[in-house]
Chains A and B, each alone.
Chain A
Amino acid sequence: MDGDNKKDNSAYTDNLIHCNKLASLFKYVKKIKIEFIFLIIFLIIMLKFMSFFNAGLLEHDAPFNYNAGDMFTCSVYAEMAKLESDISHLPFYLSQGTPGVITTFSMISGIIAGQLSLFTGLETHEFIMHSTLLFIVLSTLMVFYFLKKIDLRLAILSLPLSLLVFKWPFQYTITWGMCLSPATMLFAVVGLFCILHLNKRYMFIFLGIMNGAGFLAHARETLMFNTGVALYFLVRFLKEKILQKIIKNPKGIITLLKENVTLIALRNYILSIPIMLLMMFHYIPILFMFLYIKSAAHGYAQVNSILIQYMPPWLPHHVYLWQFGFFKYLLIIGIIIGLGFLIFKKIRTIDIIISVSFMFAFNGLFSVLGNKTTQIGHLFPILLMPITGLTLFIIYLFLKKIIKIKLAPVFIFSVLFLATLIPTYMYHAPTPLGGYAFADPYTWEAFKWVRDNVDDDEKILVLYGDRYNQETVFYMMLKNQFRTYIDYYVKKASEGVLTSTMQVRGFILAETFFKENGTYVEKERKFVSMMHSLCNYEYLYTDKVSRSPPIQKYTLKLLEKLINENNFVPVFQNNLVVILKNNNLGGDCFEDEALS
């Protein structure tokens, strides 16, 4: 009997311990805030959306989801940062062999990607998209943390908009080569924290670093950020009636400079400028040169790109308001609420973030800083997070006030968050991408062969490929390469004329500035477009497969003729690409003849 009692007692004790454990676990679970759960849900969705861009892999067989030529431009500059001993001048493979061309491309992103490539041993192209995604994630979380300083629920309610960045047209940033802007966005977002603590000693150094790095990464976004900072100071000056105080009592300015947070911050902001200029010392003349030249992208709009210029919203833009889906209503209401906060409320953190958000929106929509400014619209989902968050937060505060039930705040907050997150997940999810749009593993294998086997002083002619309309791809060969003009090639193929003289093109992948007697001089952009004999090139590079059978037939016949009659030999081929070496450089090429 005693033994049975002992057994019962020990079972009872075990149960008690078990119950206690459960109770403490329950208490712990109860302590987990709903906001934390929502943040985790958001991160899971973010990871899911991000997975569309690199198929779960860091390393790929070729540049993956590079959907436009600018991606390759970013990549080749990263390659240059990794390989060259003087990145202030273009290497021969970017300047078509012209020496002394000044690098005008913003190099910070390239240097970051180049270093990551050196450290990990992976190709630089892997780190263009990786860095873009990383900077998007970091910026989103930093904006979230900034808003958390105002209110955690405001921060959570701001998150869903950021997911739009992964969907077209916003994903242009990730897959079409806007690789410079995410880095600048990161510096601008960190700059928000510097502004917040600008009254602290030495913080001006860090603001100077952020602005300097921002200008080196991409000047326009940094200018936008600083217009936001200017608005913040203006708003604070008006709210705190600083000018009136100074006019009333001019001697009091010394006391104000010691005590007033806004004035201390302004003084420190001014102190940060020399640090910024010091970092930009090399780049300042280049920026000034850009004031007077046409942007390479002037085709986007009906205006030329000079720095200060207005482009009305009805001209072609990259992003339109309707593309924000239901968020557009939240944005419009948020702008009105934000204005109200700027005018009537005296919350410093809100003044900072709303001023900066507003100026990004203003510059992006009205393109005050030149036509390329509209591109910032692709990053609006992150930069305008505070505006939609503010709308939802005001709705939350309003409903909380009128519904006076114990659990109402949590319920209203949850409904508002899920009511924005779920439709975002359902209707704004990115669609799967093609993968190897312009450089598949066969092309990349051929590029690597070229890098390893072609001498730096040899020229390559890229003959034909169905996807060769994005010419910047070929700069990734890191050799002096030229391309046949595709329309001319197709015309000859359709005429059925086998010819050894092609219209050839090639250009320096940048604006053409040289340094002469200590000053920067712009020269005519070297743009080769002339009739050239195929026999004038050391190598011929072409796709042997085409979606168009007549063109495929034409290409194969052309290769056959060069091999049989003109001393060309195949030195590399795979399922897609053939490379021929010319053993009689400058020799006579075959005469035109009809394709049989």
Chain B
Amino acid sequence: MKSDVKKAILNELKVIIIAFILFYLFFQIHYYKENIFLVLKMAIAHFYLFIIPGYSICLLFYGKIGQIERLIIGTGSGYGLQSFLLYFINMTIKVKIKEYYLYVSAILIIIGVIIFYFRTLRKP
């Protein structure tokens, strides 16, 4: 059971890492004159703020649909949901997004991890 969970976690991490490397390489080639650390920072921004939170939420479909399709739906959800939440929070509490945008992504990732926990560890 434990080795299954470990394998599942590694599998999920593998997808994210491969996607990140491909994303970074694509844009490093595109911005070939740019400082590599700046491009890396940009890639991290996309992954931390949008793609990983979306992918995490899509762990709801763990074992139901393929990893790449989860990544695709997760990417769209990340850009859509995270931005909407910032919009909503900003309108509700009237505070600049810079105060909480990093936390919103973190919370979405944590929610995803909890979903993953219930989908794998708690599975009989």
Contact = CB atoms under 8 A, between A and B. Distances in A.
Real binding pair:
yes
Interface of A: 43, 47, 50-51, 54-59, 81-88, 107-108, 111-112, 114-116, 118-120, 122, 130, 133-134, 137-138, 142, 145, 183, 186-187, 189-191, 193-194, 197, 200-203, 206, 209-210, 212-214, 216-217, 279, 282
Nearest to B32: A56
Contact of B76 (A84, A187, A202): A187
A186 B84 contact: no
Contact of B41 (A50, A83, A119, A194): A119
B97 interface: yes
B74 to A, nearest CB: 9
A216 B84 contact: yes
Interface in B45-93: 45-46, 48-50, 58, 60-61, 64-65, 68-69, 72-73, 75-77, 79-81, 83-84, 86-87, 90-91
Interface in B17-65: 26, 29-34, 38-39, 41-42, 44-46, 48-50, 58, 60-61, 64-65
A108 B83 CA distance: 6
B49 A115 contact: yes
A55 B60 CA distance: 41
Nearest to A149: B69
Give the interface SS of chain A, mostly helix, strand, loop or mixed. helix
A64 to B, nearest CB: 12
A145 B84 CA distance: 26
Given A88-B91, A115-B101, A197-B69, A138 B75 contact: yes
B79 A86 contact: no
9 contacts: A81-B97, A84-B96, A107-B87, A108-B83, A119-B48, A189-B76, A190-B76, A190-B77, A282-B91
A55 B75 CA distance: 27
Given A83-B96, A116-B45, A200-B65, 10 more contacts: A56-B31, A82-B98, A87-B90, A108-B84, A111-B83, A118-B98, A137-B26, A197-B69, A197-B73, A209-B77
Contact of B83 (A54, A137, A194, A213): A213
A122 B32 CA distance: 17
A56 B33 contact: yes
Interface of B: 26, 29-34, 38-39, 41-42, 44-46, 48-50, 58, 60-61, 64-65, 68-69, 72-73, 75-77, 79-81, 83-84, 86-87, 90-91, 94-98, 101-102
A47 B29 contact: yes
B96 A85 contact: yes
A137 B26 CA distance: 10
Contacts of A57: 31, 33-34
Contacts, number: 149
Q: Which of A55, A190, A191 has the most CB of B within 10 A?
A: A190
A210 B76 contact: yes
A186 B68 CA distance: 16
Contacts of B75: 138, 186, 190
Given A47-B26, A145-B72, A190-B72, A202 B60 contact: yes
A279 B58 contact: no
A183 B78 CA distance: 12
B70 to A, nearest CB: 9
B81 A209 contact: yes
A186 B79 contact: yes
B85 to A, nearest CB: 10
